Each structure stands twice: as C-alpha cells, then as structure tokens.
Amino acid sequence: MPNAATDALTRTPFDVPFGTSPGIAALGERFFTRLAPTPLPSPYVVSVAPAAAALLGWTEAGLRDAAKDPAFIDTFIGNAVPDWADPLATVYSGHQFGVWAGQLGDGRAIRLAEARMPDGPWEIQLKGAGLTPYSRMADGRAVLRSSIREYLCSEAMYSLGVPTTRAMSIIGSDAPVRRESIETSAVVTRLAPSFIRFGHFEHFAAREDHASLRALADFVIDNFYPACRDAANPYQALLREVSLLTADLVAHWQAIGFCHGVMNTDNMSILGLTIDYGPFGFLDAFDGNHICNHSDQQGRYAYSQQPQIAFWNLHCLAQALLPLWRDAEATDPEAEKEAAVAAAREALDPFRDRYAAAFFRHYRAKLGLRSEHDQDEALMTNLFRVLHANRVDYTIFWRSLGRISSHDASQDAPVRDLFLDRAAWDAWAAEYRARLQAEQSDDAARAAAMLAVNPKYVLRNHLAETAIRAAREKDFSEVDRLLAVLSKPFDEQPEAEHYAALPPDWASGLEVSCSS
C-alpha cells in the first residue's frame, strides 16, 4: 500500500502471512496523520514473544527464524516499511490527573497496519518509533527500560487472564534518549484489536465535531460491539457495554494486585483492555493505599482508588458520547437535555453492581469458596484490614492460603508467619475456617481451585529491574527467562522458585515514574 509518506523509506521484502484491512484509516484524515516511522541506527533484537506473534499467524519456529532476518528487525523498529503497511498516528485528547489536557495523540506510537486475522482485526503498532504531529514537546522515543516493562507486563497480564494489549517484540538501538539520565532507545511492537481510547471520543466531542464523533462510534460499534446496533440507542448501549467491560477489568486488576499508575482517560481502552503500561506495579506488601507511580503525589491513582477512577473516566466518556443522542430540534430544550443526561446515567448505572459482582466472584475464588454467603463481605473486609496492618506480601499470601487445612490450625505456619501480629491472623483464620466448614470444603479440591486463580508469579518491580539492568549490558537472556516464567503464572516452576520470593531489600529503593 505505497503512499507518499512512506516512499522515502526503503521498502522491505519482508512479508507476513496475513492480509490487511484499512481499520481506522477508513475513517478519513481527521482521525490520523499518515507518516513513516523515523529510523534508528544499528537495531538489534532484544526479545520476541511467540504467544503474541501467534496472533499474526507465526509459529514459534517461524518467529525465531524471522527474527534473524534483517528485514524483520528493520520492519519492527521502523527502519523499513513493508508493502503491507499503511503507517499512521491517530489523534486523541484526554483528561490527565483529573484535568482536561486538550489534544494529545499517538506521540510516539505508529500504527503499521491492521492485520485481518480469522479471529478479527489486530492492529500492529510500533511504540517509540519517532516524532509524530502529536509528540508535543517530547522526542517520540521510548527507552529500553520502559519498553521491557511494557513488553513483559503485557504478556504477563495475558497469561494471568486479564484483558490487555499484547507485545510481540522489542527491537533496541543504542541511539541515546534523554530522560533523567541518558538511556538507549527501543521499539515495542504492540498488538490489539484496536488502540482506540476514551480520549479519541473526547477529542471530537471537545471540538464539537459531531460527524466525526458519530463516525468513530459507528466504527467501534460495527467492529467490536455489533449487538449494540440493535439497541434503541446504539451509542447509549455502547457506553453501557464499555462500562461493564471496564468494571470487569478493574475488578480483575484489584484481585491480582495490579496498579496501573496513570489511569488518565487517554489510557483507557474502549475495548476494556489494560493499555499503556508505564509506572504500573504489582502489590508486594499489601497496602490498600499503595501508589505505584512516583509522579502521582496526590495518590489519585492509588490501588484503592482504581475502581472510583474508572467510573470517573467513564463519566468523561459519557460526556463525550452525549451529543450523539441529543436532539437539536427538541421543542423543550431543558427537558431534552435532562432526558439525554438521564440516558447517560442509565448506561453508567450498572457499573457499580457489575464491579461488585466481579469483585466478589474474584475474591470468593481466591478464598476457595464455592457458595455465596452474606457474611463474605465482612470476611473479606477483615482480611484486607489484617493484610494492610501487617503489610503482608499480597501474592505470597494468596498462594499460601490455599494450602492451609480447613479444620486444623496447627499447620498454619507458612501463612501465619507472614503476619507480625500472629493473633490477628489466628482471629481471621478462625473466621475463615468456620466459613469453609460451613460449606463442607474439601481441602484438596479447594487447594487445586485456589492455586488456579492465585498466581505464584507476577512481574514485581525488582524482577523487571533485574532484567533491565542485564539488558543494558546487552544480556537479554533475563528478559526471555522472565517472559517464559510469567507465561505460566499459576504453575509451580521449581527452577524458578526465586522469582516468587519476597522482594530483596534493594527493591524498596526502586521508583517508577511517568518517565518512559
């Protein structure tokens, strides 16, 4: 698909086993700017992810072979544009830290193409591929550090069963990039059915470009929410569906102890995917108010705030979609406005119940409970209180809990010893045991069920940091090892036991911020 924007670049013979579709390009140029990635010198493969590449039809052997081909490297760092590509950067706006930020957009991400796969479209996007019209004051690049974090976490989240964008490769270049210090560059190839964010809708709403707003909503409905088409008000139905998926997503984050870190509306996927991995973190010691992003001084995006913030962001989306069901010709404009707002509220309303349902489903499963009981909420609240007071390691706690006996407290040591206040554990454990006995829990079956939902391996900051430090010395083996371990988060992996251990002392000094 040659075009003027890319003719300047070498075209590569590198081919892929899929056809493409225009995707968002079909919407017209108010939505994006066509442009080629900016080349980087002397690129090298840092890592490739077979599970993600399979989405584009590659076998693992095919991928490993392709990754030796300079044409592959050139394609996925953006040094050559293959014939199947139609590279473009999209425009969006958004609320950042609760404040309207105006126009943002793909400042360093370039969509290469939309692959048309049997299971639907997969957009192929290069993150860190150079300046775009939406880069504002920044450089269009991503550093190796943040690229490794995004790559590993995307794939880890997928294996945890959490909806997410995917990552297929990291290609590095020693081209320097200035952050707090000088770092090197990398490009992550991300995949998602769509990278459309709440912010895309906010953009056209803010400009009062209602034709584009409608075209965008129609595009999303037709491609991803076709059932909404049958609703009396398809746009209201879309808002409702996005609310439900977002509720499910955030409940899942809470359950696995994931903190996103920058839940700005431009980082909220219209498909309910986890998107834009920056200063994210998994809980180590449980702190309900944990703030993973060092740049987030107010704790707006603290762990405990995520559900509220998701709901706040959905209100921004609602505000943006509202013009699609306003009636300019209404005889009573006041009443019309009230009715339109009421329709938005009605679409957002199910969020709370859906979130609560998903939350209880996750935590009942984590606790190994088969039945529902009125007192489960109190059981959970009491648990969070003692976990918080004792700063118990979240992942290790859940993993160990599956192994306690429902009738014999004398074998509690592996869990009990995680608590400084042993009496607090004893009190809660008595409550929990009574609950298990009440439903005649079978210890072996419960243990198996709990081990299938409480992961042993998550991407703790210090694990990513170890891989990053080695990668800076050109040893990429730790990235690959982590990718492999995190692809089976629920399995016992005896050779990887240390990846499941408490963070080392040096980890407490690690800070992650918006700098990426």
- DSSP per residue over 421-490, as a string? SHHHHHHHHHHHHHHHHHTT--HHHHHHHHHTTS-S----HHHHHHHHHHHHTT--HHHHHHHHHHTSTT
CA distance 475 to 86: 34
**Nearest residue to 151 via CA among 459, 454, 511, 469:** 459
Give whichever of 32 and 58 is closer to Mg ion, judged by the CB atom: 32
Q: Is 262 in the site for ligand AMP (CB under 6 A)?
A: yes
Q: Do residues 34 and 88 lie in contact, with contact meaning Cβ atoms separated by under 8 Å? A: yes
CA distance 402 to 60: 34
Give whichever of 173 and 516 is closer to Mg ion, judged by the CB atom: 516
Work out the burial of residue 277: count CB atoms within 10 Å of its CB; fewer than 13 is exposed, 13-18 middle, 19 or more buried: buried
Minimal CB distance residue for ligand AMP: 107
Q: How far is the CB of 141 from ligand AMP (least distance, A)?
A: 5
Question: Considering only 21-29, 74-82, 132-140, 499-507, which stretch makes contact with ligand AMP by CB under 6 A?
Answer: 132-140
Q: Which of 86, 241, 276, 296 binds ligand AMP (CB under 6 A)?
A: 276
Give whichever of 493 and 513 is closer to ligand AMP, judged by the CB atom: 513
Q: Residue 239: what residue type? A: L
Q: Is 133 in the site for ligand AMP (CB under 6 A)?
A: no
Q: How many residues bind Mg ion (CB under 5 A)?
A: 2
**Nearest residue to 242 via CA among 362, 348, 119:** 348
Give whichever of 159 and 306 is closer to ligand AMP, judged by the CB atom: 306
Q: Is 123 in the site for ligand AMP (CB under 6 A)?
A: no
Partner whose binding site includes residue 107, from Mg ion, ligand AMP, none (CB under 5 to 8 Å by kind) = ligand AMP
266 flagged as catalytic: yes
Phi (first) and psi of residue 119, to 5 degrees: -90, 10
DSSP reduced 3-state for 164:
strand
Q: Which of 74, 266, 276, 296 is catalytic?
A: 266
Q: Which of 37, 50, 82, 140 binds ligand AMP (CB under 6 A)?
A: 140
Give whichever of 108 and 362 is closer to Mg ion, judged by the CB atom: 108
Q: How many residues bind ligand AMP (CB under 6 A)?
A: 16
Q: Is 139 in the site for ligand AMP (CB under 6 A)?
A: yes
Q: How far is the CB of 267 from ligand AMP (least distance, A)?
A: 5
Question: Considering only 105-113, 116-124, 313-321, 498-506, which stretch makes contact with ligand AMP by CB under 6 A?
Answer: 105-113
- DSSP per residue over 232-297, as a string? SSHHHHHHHHHHHHHHHHHHHHHHHTEE-S---GGG-BTTS-B---SS-EE-SB--TT---BTT-T
Q: Is 276 in the site for Mg ion (CB under 5 A)?
A: yes
Partner whose binding site includes residue 108, from Mg ion, ligand AMP, none (CB under 5 to 8 Å by kind) = ligand AMP
Q: Is 516 in the site for Mg ion (CB under 5 A)?
A: no
Partner whose binding site includes residue 141, from ligand AMP, Mg ion, none (CB under 5 to 8 Å by kind) = ligand AMP
- DSSP per residue over 22-88, as a string? -GGGGG-TTSEEE-PPPP-SS-EEEEE-HHHHGGGT--HHHHHHHTTSHHHHHHHHTSS--TT---E
Give whichever of 45 and 101 is closer to Mg ion, judged by the CB atom: 101
Q: Do residues 152 and 164 lie in contact, with contact meaning Cβ atoms separated by under 8 Å? A: no
Question: Considering only 68-76, 119-127, 272-280, 382-390, which stretch makes contact with Mg ion by CB under 5 A?
Answer: 272-280
Rg (Cα) of the chain, in Å, rounded?
24
Annotated catalytic residues are 266
Binding site for Mg ion (CB under 5 A): 267, 276
Binding site for ligand AMP (CB under 6 A): 104-108, 134-135, 138-141, 262, 267, 276, 278, 514
